[in-house]
Amino acid sequence: MKRRLFLQIPLLGAALVATNQLYAGDHLGKTHAKERPKKGFKVSAGKDRFQKELNIMGGQFNRIVSSEDTNGDLLIYHTVRQEKGGPALHLHHEQDEWFYVISGEFIVKVGEDTFTLKPGDSAFAPRTIPHAFAKINEDEGQVLVLFQPAGSMEDFFEQMSKLGTNIPKDQERVLKNLWETHGMQVVGPPLKF
């Protein structure tokens, strides 16, 4: 056996063990309790994955990919927004968040940077970095919002839908406990535009 190959075999074995532990969740002290689905699915346009109505803060939120579909690794919402505005400046302790604009115009603040997004544009907000977004055009706006990992964001949106459809006044104070319960921290008011 060649010396080079002899040295590579233990490295390959260690990589396979590490990959297996990573998938099993050993690196986080937890394991994935159930298998991932073995079948794809379709979500029709304008529908929620589970046919639920989630009307939150001036928009309709439809789950496209649920945390149940990914063992908590990913969550995707399609939101159709009628009202201008958006959530308070906040951060996620555990989730990255990604925005992709389908229609309308949005501003997204991530850290010290503010981006204007039009159809086809996207912005990424890493975990622990303060961010917020707001629809700024008069007409309807649509955006895909992705959370990775999903964490308790799906439950957060379920709880938010129980509070009504309007954007609450002084939301950074009114919603503070709900946000904290779901691994987020409000750090400022909504964006002004």
Structural domain containing residue 107 = 54-190
pLDDT bucket at 176, cuts 50 / 70 / 90 = confident
Q: Is residue 158 part of a domain?
A: yes
Decide: 83 and 56 in contact? Cβ < 8 Å. Answer: no
Whole-angstrom CA distances from 142 to 77, 86, 104 are 10, 13, 6
Q: Specify the DSSP element, H or E, that contains 81.
A: strand 75-81
CB 188 within 8 A of CB 179: no
Q: What is the CATH number of the domain that holds 180?
A: 2.60.120.10
Flag whether 47 is in a domain. Answer: no
**Residues whose CB is less than 8 angstroms from the CB of residue 181 and which lie 6 or more positions away in sequence, other chains included:** 152
Amino acid at 38: K
Distance, CA of 103 to CA of 83 (rounded, Å): 14
Domain assignment of residue 61, yes or no: yes
**Which residues face 80 on adjacent strands?**
60, 142
Residue 113: Cβ within 10 Å count: 10
> 114 pLDDT exceeds 90?
yes
How is residue 48 annotated by DSSP?
Answer: -
Span 133-171, pLDDT tens digits = 999 999 999 999 999 999 999 999 999 888 877 666 767
pLDDT digits 0-9 by tens, 47-84: 999 999 899 887 899 999 999 999 999 999 999 999 99
Q: Look at residue 24 in the predicted model and tell me its pLDDT.
A: 46
Pick from 160, 122, 162, 157: nearest CA to 143: 122
| Number of domains composing the chain | 1
